[in-house]
Chain A
Amino acid sequence: MSTVAAVVLFAGVLAYAVLGGADYGAGFWDLTAGGAERGRRPRHLVDESLAPVWEANHVWLIFCLVMLWTAFPPAFAAIMTTLYIPLGLAALGIVARGSGFAFRKVFVRTEQQRVAGAAFAASSVLAPFFLGTVAGGIASGRVPTAGLGDPISSWLNPTSLLGGVLAVLVCAFVAAVFLAAEARRRGEDDLETWFRRRAQVTAVVTGVVALTGIAILRADAPRLFDELLTRGLVLVVGSAACGLAALALLRRAAPRQVQGLAVLAVAAVVAGWGVAQYPYLLGTHVSIGDAAAPTATLWALTAVAAAAVLIVVPSMGLLFVLAQRGRLESS
Chain B
Amino acid sequence: MTGAVRGRTEGVSLALAAAGVGRLAAGSSQVLPAREQMAFTLGFHIILVPFGVAFTFMMLIANYRGLRRHDQHALRLARRWSQVSGVLFAVGAVSGTVLSFELGLLWPRLMGPFGAAYGLPFAVEGLFFFVEAIFVAIYIYGWDRMRPWSHFWTGVPVVLSGVGGTASVVAANGWMNQPAGITVRDGRVVGVQPLRVFFNDAFWYEALHMLLAAYMVAGFVTAGVYAAGMLRGRRDRLHRLGLLIPLTVAAVTTPVQFFVGDVAAREVFQLEPAKFAAIEALPTTGDHVPEVLGGVLVDGEVRYGIDIPSGASLLSGYSPDTRILGLDAIPADVRPADHLVTTVHLAFDVMVGIGTALLALSFWFAVLWWRRREAPENPWFLRATAVSGVLAVLALESGWVVTEVGRQPWTVVGLLLTRDAAAPGGNLWLFFGATVALYAAVGFGTLFVLRLMRRRWQEAERGGDDAEVDDEVPYGPSRARELDRSPGGGA
Contacts and interface: CB of A to CB of B under 8 A. Distances in A.
Interface of A: 30-31, 33, 35-37, 39-40, 43-44, 47-48, 51-53, 55-56, 58-59, 61-63, 65-67, 69-71, 73-74, 76-81, 84, 87-88, 90-92, 94-99, 101-110, 113-114, 116-118, 120-121, 147-148, 151, 293-294, 296-297, 299-301, 304, 307-308, 311-312, 315-316, 318-319, 322-323, 326-331
Given A76-B115, A103-B449, A63 B130 contact: yes
8 contacts: A43-B489, A81-B426, A84-B431, A87-B104, A103-B446, A293-B189, A315-B131, A328-B142
A294 B191 contact: yes
B473 A106 contact: yes
Contact of B137 (A55, A88, A120): A55
A179 to B, nearest CB: 15
A304 B127 contact: yes
A92 B438 contact: yes
Given A55-B89, A296-B192, A40 B127 contact: no
A104 B129 contact: no
B423 interface: yes
Nearest to A63: B126
Contacts of A315: 130-131, 134-135, 157
B434 interface: yes
Given A79-B104, A102-B87, A109-B486, A95 B98 contact: yes
Interface centre among B112, B124, B426 (most CB of A within 10 A): B112
Given A31-B491, A88-B431, A106-B452, A94 B130 contact: no
Interface string B420-458: 000111100001001100110010011011001100000
Contacts of B136: 55
Given A79-B104, A98-B91, 14 more contacts: A51-B137, A59-B129, A69-B122, A73-B115, A84-B423, A106-B87, A108-B486, A110-B490, A114-B490, A114-B491, A294-B190, A297-B116, A297-B117, A311-B127
B476 interface: yes
Nearest to A146: B112
A40 B108 contact: no
Contacts, number: 288
Interface in B130-149: 130-131, 133-138, 140-142, 145-146
A233 B328 CA distance: 67
Given A58-B93, A300-B194, A312-B127, A92 B490 contact: no
Contact of A66 (B123, B142, B190, B438): B123
Nearest to B193: A296
Given A55-B90, A56-B133, A94-B97, A105 B474 contact: yes
B416 to A, nearest CB: 13
Given A73-B112, A73-B115, A87 B101 contact: yes
A51 to B, nearest CB: 7
Given A104-B490, A107-B452, A297 B111 contact: no
Given A56-B133, A80-B104, A322 B120 contact: no
Nearest to A292: B116
A95 B194 contact: no
B95 interface: yes
Contacts of A37: 488
B479 interface: yes
List 5 tightest A-B contacts by C-beta distance, closest first.
A73-B115, A36-B488, A70-B119, A77-B112, A117-B491
A25 to B, nearest CB: 16
Nearest to A328: B141
Contacts of A326: 145
B458 to A, nearest CB: 15
B86 interface: yes
A294 B189 contact: yes
B486 to A, nearest CB: 5
A102 B486 CA distance: 18
A283 B294 CA distance: 56
Interface in B186-226: 189-194
Contacts of B89: 55
B466 interface: no
B113 interface: yes
B427 to A, nearest CB: 9
Contact of A318 (B104, B124, B138, B438): B138
B16 to A, nearest CB: 15
Given A116-B445, A294-B189, A301-B123, A98 B94 contact: yes
B24 to A, nearest CB: 14
A71 B194 CA distance: 13
Nearest to A102: B90
Contacts of B191: 294, 296
A151 B491 CA distance: 33
A120 B126 CA distance: 24
B102 to A, nearest CB: 8
Contacts of A327: 141-142, 145-146
A69 B104 contact: yes
B489 A44 contact: yes
Contact of B491 (A30, A52, A55, A330): A30
Interface centre among A55, A81, A104 (most CB of B within 10 A): A55
Nearest to A65: B100
Contact of B194 (A53, A106, A121, A296): A296
B357 to A, nearest CB: 33
Contacts of A318: 134, 138
Contact of B93 (A66, A98, A104, A121): A98
Nearest to A67: B123
Contacts of A52: 137-138, 140-141
